[in-house]
Protein backbone atom coordinates (compact mmCIF):
# COMPACT_ATOMS: atom_id res chain seq x y z
CA UNK A 1 0.00 0.00 0.00
CA UNK A 2 1.09 3.59 -0.42
CA UNK A 3 1.55 5.76 2.63
CA UNK A 4 3.71 8.18 4.54
CA UNK A 5 5.28 7.33 7.88
CA UNK A 6 6.13 10.30 10.06
CA UNK A 7 7.85 10.30 13.41
CA UNK A 8 8.97 12.78 16.01
CA UNK A 9 12.75 12.71 16.58
CA UNK A 10 13.74 10.83 19.69
CA UNK A 11 14.93 12.84 22.64
CA UNK A 12 18.21 12.18 24.39
CA UNK A 13 16.43 9.81 26.79
CA UNK A 14 13.84 8.26 24.46
CA UNK A 15 14.41 5.34 22.14
CA UNK A 16 12.13 3.91 19.50
CA UNK A 17 11.23 0.32 20.32
CA UNK A 18 11.48 -1.71 17.12
CA UNK A 19 10.94 -5.47 17.11
CA UNK A 20 11.82 -7.93 14.37
CA UNK A 21 9.24 -10.72 14.41
CA UNK A 22 10.66 -13.93 13.03
CA UNK A 23 10.31 -17.64 13.78
CA UNK A 24 12.88 -20.17 14.94
CA UNK A 25 13.36 -21.48 11.41
CA UNK A 26 17.14 -21.47 11.61
CA UNK A 27 18.03 -21.72 7.95
CA UNK A 28 21.04 -19.81 6.65
CA UNK A 29 19.04 -16.95 5.15
CA UNK A 30 17.01 -16.26 8.30
CA UNK A 31 20.14 -16.25 10.48
CA UNK A 32 21.96 -13.96 8.05
CA UNK A 33 18.94 -11.62 7.86
CA UNK A 34 18.85 -11.27 11.64
CA UNK A 35 22.58 -10.65 11.81
CA UNK A 36 22.38 -7.93 9.15
CA UNK A 37 19.55 -6.19 11.00
CA UNK A 38 21.38 -6.32 14.33
CA UNK A 39 24.64 -5.04 12.87
CA UNK A 40 22.93 -2.26 10.92
CA UNK A 41 21.28 -0.89 14.07
CA UNK A 42 24.38 -1.32 16.23
CA UNK A 43 26.83 0.33 13.80
CA UNK A 44 24.78 2.98 12.02
CA UNK A 45 24.12 6.46 13.39
CA UNK A 46 21.68 7.75 14.48
CA UNK A 47 19.89 4.40 14.85
CA UNK A 48 22.47 3.04 17.27
CA UNK A 49 21.38 5.77 19.72
CA UNK A 50 17.71 6.24 18.83
CA UNK A 51 16.53 2.64 18.41
CA UNK A 52 16.07 -0.14 20.92
CA UNK A 53 16.06 -3.16 18.63
CA UNK A 54 15.01 -6.65 19.63
CA UNK A 55 14.39 -9.89 17.74
CA UNK A 56 11.54 -12.15 18.80
CA UNK A 57 11.67 -15.70 17.45
CA UNK A 58 8.44 -17.57 18.05
CA UNK A 59 8.11 -21.27 17.39
CA UNK A 60 7.89 -22.08 13.70
CA UNK A 61 4.09 -22.10 13.63
CA UNK A 62 1.43 -19.44 13.13
CA UNK A 63 0.33 -19.86 16.75
CA UNK A 64 3.92 -19.50 17.93
CA UNK A 65 4.43 -16.25 16.05
CA UNK A 66 1.12 -14.85 17.31
CA UNK A 67 2.09 -15.69 20.90
CA UNK A 68 5.50 -14.01 20.51
CA UNK A 69 3.84 -10.81 19.26
CA UNK A 70 1.22 -10.88 22.02
CA UNK A 71 4.06 -11.05 24.53
CA UNK A 72 5.55 -7.71 23.40
CA UNK A 73 2.30 -5.72 23.22
CA UNK A 74 2.59 -4.57 26.89
CA UNK A 75 5.89 -2.94 25.88
CA UNK A 76 4.02 -0.77 23.32
CA UNK A 77 6.45 -1.15 20.41
CA UNK A 78 6.83 1.76 18.02
CA UNK A 79 7.27 -0.60 15.08
CA UNK A 80 7.18 -4.30 14.25
CA UNK A 81 9.11 -5.55 11.23
CA UNK A 82 7.81 -8.99 10.36
CA UNK A 83 8.62 -12.05 8.26
CA UNK A 84 5.18 -13.61 8.58
CA UNK A 85 4.22 -17.27 8.79
CA UNK A 86 0.79 -16.55 7.30
CA UNK A 87 -0.61 -13.78 5.09
CA UNK A 88 -3.90 -13.62 7.02
CA UNK A 89 -3.79 -15.35 10.42
CA UNK A 90 -1.63 -12.66 12.06
CA UNK A 91 -4.07 -9.85 11.22
CA UNK A 92 -5.89 -9.70 14.62
CA UNK A 93 -2.74 -9.50 16.75
CA UNK A 94 -1.06 -7.05 14.37
CA UNK A 95 -4.17 -4.87 14.41
CA UNK A 96 -3.86 -4.78 18.19
CA UNK A 97 -0.31 -3.49 17.81
CA UNK A 98 -1.38 -0.93 15.21
CA UNK A 99 -4.21 0.26 17.47
CA UNK A 100 -1.57 0.91 20.14
CA UNK A 101 0.32 3.12 17.69
CA UNK A 102 2.83 0.68 16.20
CA UNK A 103 3.85 0.76 12.55
CA UNK A 104 3.88 -2.75 11.02
CA UNK A 105 6.15 -3.44 8.05
CA UNK A 106 6.29 -6.84 6.34
CA UNK A 107 9.06 -8.19 4.13
CA UNK A 108 9.96 -11.48 2.44
CA UNK A 109 6.46 -12.96 2.87
CA UNK A 110 3.51 -10.62 2.24
CA UNK A 111 0.62 -9.78 4.54
CA UNK A 112 -2.91 -9.15 3.34
CA UNK A 113 -3.39 -6.57 6.12
CA UNK A 114 -4.19 -3.23 4.46
CA UNK A 115 -3.00 -1.39 7.57
CA UNK A 116 0.54 -2.73 7.21
CA UNK A 117 3.31 -1.49 4.96
CA UNK A 118 5.24 -3.84 2.68
CA UNK A 119 8.79 -3.98 1.36
CA UNK A 120 9.37 -6.28 -1.60
CA UNK A 121 11.03 -6.51 -4.99
CA UNK A 122 9.09 -5.80 -8.18
CA UNK A 123 7.21 -8.99 -8.98
CA UNK A 124 7.68 -10.30 -5.46
CA UNK A 125 9.15 -13.78 -5.17
CA UNK A 126 7.22 -15.09 -8.18
CA UNK A 127 9.46 -13.50 -10.79
CA UNK A 128 12.84 -14.87 -9.58
CA UNK A 129 11.28 -18.31 -9.07
CA UNK A 130 9.99 -18.22 -12.64
CA UNK A 131 13.35 -17.09 -14.04
CA UNK A 132 15.40 -19.70 -12.19
CA UNK A 133 12.89 -22.42 -13.14
CA UNK A 134 13.24 -21.47 -16.81
CA UNK A 135 17.03 -21.74 -16.54
CA UNK A 136 16.66 -25.13 -14.86
CA UNK A 137 14.26 -26.48 -17.49
CA UNK A 138 16.52 -25.33 -20.32
CA UNK A 139 19.44 -27.02 -18.52
CA UNK A 140 17.38 -30.23 -18.48
CA UNK A 141 16.98 -30.01 -22.25
CA UNK A 142 13.34 -28.87 -21.88
CA UNK A 143 12.27 -32.36 -20.78
CA UNK A 144 12.53 -34.87 -17.97
CA UNK A 145 11.48 -35.48 -14.37
CA UNK A 146 11.49 -32.43 -12.09
CA UNK A 147 11.37 -32.33 -8.28
CA UNK A 148 10.27 -29.12 -6.53
CA UNK A 149 11.61 -28.32 -3.06
CA UNK A 150 9.18 -25.81 -1.58
CA UNK A 151 9.56 -23.58 1.47
CA UNK A 152 7.34 -23.44 4.54
CA UNK A 153 3.88 -24.39 3.31
CA UNK A 154 1.13 -21.84 3.93
CA UNK A 155 3.37 -18.78 3.85
CA UNK A 156 2.88 -16.11 1.22
CA UNK A 157 6.49 -16.37 0.10
CA UNK A 158 6.24 -20.09 -0.56
CA UNK A 159 3.01 -19.63 -2.49
CA UNK A 160 4.61 -16.97 -4.72
CA UNK A 161 7.67 -19.12 -5.38
CA UNK A 162 5.67 -22.23 -6.21
CA UNK A 163 3.39 -20.25 -8.54
CA UNK A 164 6.43 -18.91 -10.41
CA UNK A 165 7.93 -22.37 -10.88
CA UNK A 166 4.68 -23.92 -12.09
CA UNK A 167 4.14 -21.01 -14.49
CA UNK A 168 7.44 -21.94 -16.13
CA UNK A 169 6.76 -25.68 -16.07
CA UNK A 170 3.43 -25.45 -17.86
CA UNK A 171 5.18 -24.14 -20.97
CA UNK A 172 7.06 -27.42 -21.40
CA UNK A 173 4.82 -30.49 -21.86
CA UNK A 174 7.80 -32.86 -21.71
CA UNK A 175 8.71 -31.73 -18.19
CA UNK A 176 6.98 -33.78 -15.51
CA UNK A 177 6.82 -32.74 -11.86
CA UNK A 178 7.22 -36.14 -10.19
CA UNK A 179 7.39 -34.89 -6.60
CA UNK A 180 7.08 -31.81 -4.42
CA UNK A 181 8.13 -31.54 -0.78
CA UNK A 182 8.60 -28.91 1.90
CA UNK A 183 12.27 -28.46 2.71
CA UNK A 184 11.35 -25.47 4.91
CA UNK A 185 14.03 -23.28 3.27
CA UNK A 186 16.63 -25.21 5.27
CA UNK A 187 19.38 -27.71 4.42
CA UNK A 188 18.67 -30.48 6.95
CA UNK A 189 14.93 -30.89 6.23
CA UNK A 190 15.67 -30.68 2.50
CA UNK A 191 18.28 -33.43 2.75
CA UNK A 192 15.98 -35.67 4.79
CA UNK A 193 13.03 -35.28 2.42
CA UNK A 194 15.02 -35.52 -0.81
CA UNK A 195 16.67 -38.75 0.33
CA UNK A 196 13.20 -40.32 0.47
CA UNK A 197 12.28 -38.82 -2.91
CA UNK A 198 15.36 -40.41 -4.51
CA UNK A 199 14.37 -43.81 -3.09
CA UNK A 200 10.97 -43.69 -4.81
CA UNK A 201 11.96 -41.84 -8.00
CA UNK A 202 15.10 -43.39 -9.52
CA UNK A 203 15.11 -40.99 -12.48
CA UNK A 204 15.31 -37.31 -11.52
CA UNK A 205 16.59 -34.88 -14.12
CA UNK A 206 16.42 -31.62 -12.18
CA UNK A 207 15.56 -30.08 -8.81
CA UNK A 208 14.21 -26.60 -8.17
CA UNK A 209 14.73 -25.37 -4.61
CA UNK A 210 13.26 -22.41 -2.78
CA UNK A 211 16.01 -23.00 -0.22
CA UNK A 212 18.07 -25.79 1.29
CA UNK A 213 19.84 -26.56 -1.98
CA UNK A 214 22.99 -27.74 -0.22
CA UNK A 215 21.00 -30.52 1.47
CA UNK A 216 19.90 -31.81 -1.94
CA UNK A 217 23.45 -31.64 -3.30
CA UNK A 218 24.78 -33.50 -0.26
CA UNK A 219 22.25 -36.30 -0.87
CA UNK A 220 23.36 -36.68 -4.49
CA UNK A 221 27.02 -36.78 -3.50
CA UNK A 222 26.37 -39.28 -0.70
CA UNK A 223 24.43 -41.53 -3.07
CA UNK A 224 27.23 -41.26 -5.69
CA UNK A 225 24.78 -39.84 -8.21
CA UNK A 226 25.68 -37.26 -10.88
CA UNK A 227 25.08 -33.60 -10.08
CA UNK A 228 21.95 -33.00 -12.13
CA UNK A 229 20.82 -29.42 -12.88
CA UNK A 230 19.77 -27.69 -9.65
CA UNK A 231 18.35 -24.18 -9.30
CA UNK A 232 17.22 -22.06 -6.42
CA UNK A 233 18.07 -19.16 -4.16
CA UNK A 234 21.60 -18.27 -3.14
CA UNK A 235 21.72 -19.60 0.40
CA UNK A 236 25.00 -20.21 2.21
CA UNK A 237 27.06 -23.14 0.80
CA UNK A 238 25.05 -23.08 -2.44
**Over the stretch 24-51, which tens digit does the pLDDT of each residue have?**
776 777 888 899 999 999 999 999 999 9
Intervals of the chain under pLDDT 50: 1-8
Helix (H) or strand (E) holding 158: helix 156-169
**What is residue 38's predicted lDDT score, i.e. its pLDDT?**
95
**What is residue 125's predicted lDDT score, i.e. its pLDDT?**
84
Residues counted in the chain: 238
**What is residue 29's predicted lDDT score, i.e. its pLDDT?**
77
**What is residue 51's predicted lDDT score, i.e. its pLDDT?**
96
**What is residue 155's predicted lDDT score, i.e. its pLDDT?**
79
**What is residue 16's predicted lDDT score, i.e. its pLDDT?**
97
**What is residue 171's predicted lDDT score, i.e. its pLDDT?**
97
Distance in angstroms (rounded) separating the CA atoms of residues 182 and 17: 35
Q: Is 64 exposed, middle or buried (0-12, 13-18, 19+ CB in 10 A)?
A: middle
**CA-based R_g, the chain, Å:** 20
pTM for this prediction:
0.72
Alpha helices in 51-123 (DSSP H): 62-72, 91-99
Distance in angstroms (rounded) separating the CA atoms of residues 127 and 180: 20
**What is residue 179's predicted lDDT score, i.e. its pLDDT?**
98
Give the CA-trace dihedral at 160, 140, 181, 226, to 10 degrees.
Answer: -140
Amino acid sequence: MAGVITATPASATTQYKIYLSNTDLDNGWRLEMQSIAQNFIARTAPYNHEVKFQIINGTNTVAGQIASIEAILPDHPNAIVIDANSPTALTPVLNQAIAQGAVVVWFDTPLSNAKAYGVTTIGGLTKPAYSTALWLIHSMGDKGNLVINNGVLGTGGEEQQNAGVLEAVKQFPKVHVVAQFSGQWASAPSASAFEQIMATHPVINGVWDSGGESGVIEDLVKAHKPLIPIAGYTFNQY
